[in-house]
Amino acid sequence: MNTTASQAAFEAAQQLIPGGVNSPVRAFKSVGGTPLFIAKGEGGYLIDIDGNRYVDYVQSWGPLLFGHRDESIEAAVIEAVRNGLSFGAPTLAETELAKEVVGLFDSMDKVRFVSSGTEAVMSAIRLARGFTGRDDIIKFEGCYHGHSDALLVQAGSGAATFGNPSSPGVPADFTKHTLLAKYNDIESVKRCFEQSSGVACVIIEPIAGNMGLVPATKEFLAELRSLCDAHGALLIYDEVMSGFRASLYGAESITGTKPDLITLGKVIGGGMPVGAFGGRREIMAQLSPEGPVYQAGTLSGNPVAMAAGLAAIKKLKAHAPVLATLEARARRLVEGMKTAAEANGIALHVDVRGSMFGFFFNDAPVMNFDDALRSDTARFAAFHRGMLEEGFYFACSQFETGFISTATTDAMIEATIEASARVFGRLHG
């Protein structure tokens, strides 16, 4: 596989862009080698600037449910662009997309659009604090909710519950109100409540996608709901990644537990930058200009992103059974890979939720971040390199989720399984 052009492009980028990339995970640091510079996407494929063609299981980290260059989404974007890129004023498309989104979530009465998942989560937490009049928040180890200061935390030493900053540039004062609990461990959440003078909200990825694919159990989420109710705290579901990927109706339709606020992104932009947060009417009424909690953005609800999102959601609603097809393909993929791995004496733990899939080089089920960290990341890196050489593009980290699109065919799935068997054979040898 020739990557000469990508190597040259990366060297040039490093002279002008920190690390040569505009988002850290793209740098391939955890898997080694040079990041591939992409020229274009076609359906289920990526083509790099060297002309190499890959089956794409990243799909822009989730938003491309219908693959690259979906005709209906592309047409909607082109039409919107012809009318103008941005107005900084209301458009009909905002209300139309809001109606579609609110209509699919039982726990959502109103929604506000922003420009990224990070912005959606940051705003939802501010709203929760404003609504409850409290400062502390609880999050979970291994869940990523964007790069805002209050959420860039790591576990404290010993029995400490409050998190410490996990990045230079984040003052300790900014994270002193963030408490860390263990995913799928309700006792750790109870301890957080006990040690806080007032919890505004608990935020969780109900289907975690940023420590690899690790779903929360129904029992854990039900207990979390009860704890929040008992303490007067809001429950926030971060579905920036899982929204419309795991289910048309959100994680609440799978788990049976309703949150107070939901954050969204990815699919509702159809590939354009977008985020959103929404919830119960009385909570959303606290948001400016209706209420005192301030949030604003010049490009929030911009017409191009709204057009792309509207086309994506309408298409998904019109073809809702496709999610079951995608889940079947995702399950066939990871189960086929698991069989191939085990045939070569390699342990592989796999899971699927809708069109999301994950696999860990781990000999035990992964229920939380500690479990995930016990995975063999060196073996994953070797597998990643091997699959690239075979023409298959997976997320460049053991701790990321993979995605199936409607452009991912059964033939692609079978070819991927066959290629994985060859790669596992080389890893075993």
Q: Which is catalytic among the residues 45, 144, 237, 393?
A: 144
Of 64, 46, 96, the closest CA to residue 391 belongs to 46
Q: Which amino acid is at 366?
A: V
Q: Is 154 left (phi over 0), alpha (psi -120 to 50) or beta?
A: beta
Other Cβ atoms within 10 Å of 42 Cβ, number: 13
Task: Give CA–CA dist 65/60, Å, rounded.
Answer: 10
DSSP label at residue 18: G
Length reported for the chain: 429
Do the bridges between strand 178-181 and strand 110-114 make them parallel or antiparallel, or are there none, so unpaired?
unpaired
276 near 264, Cβ under 8 Å?
Answer: yes
Q: Which is catalytic among the residues 48, 56, 136, 238?
A: 238
Whether 266 sits among the annotated catalytic residues: the reply is yes
Task: Give CA–CA dist 310/77, Å, rounded.
Answer: 10
Six-digit token string for 114? 């922003």
How far CA 193 is from CA of 153, 158, 181, 306, in Å, comes to: 18, 18, 10, 39
Whether 144 sits among the annotated catalytic residues: the reply is yes
Whether 238 sits among the annotated catalytic residues: the reply is yes
C-alpha of 359 from chain center: 16
Task: Give CA–CA dist 87/305, Å, rounded.
Answer: 12
Q: Which is catalytic among the residues 110, 258, 266, 338?
A: 266
Q: Is 180 left (phi over 0), alpha (psi -120 to 50) or beta?
A: beta
How far CA 78 is from CA of 72, 83, 237, 247, 425, in Å, comes to: 10, 9, 33, 28, 46
Residues involved in catalysis: 144, 238, 266
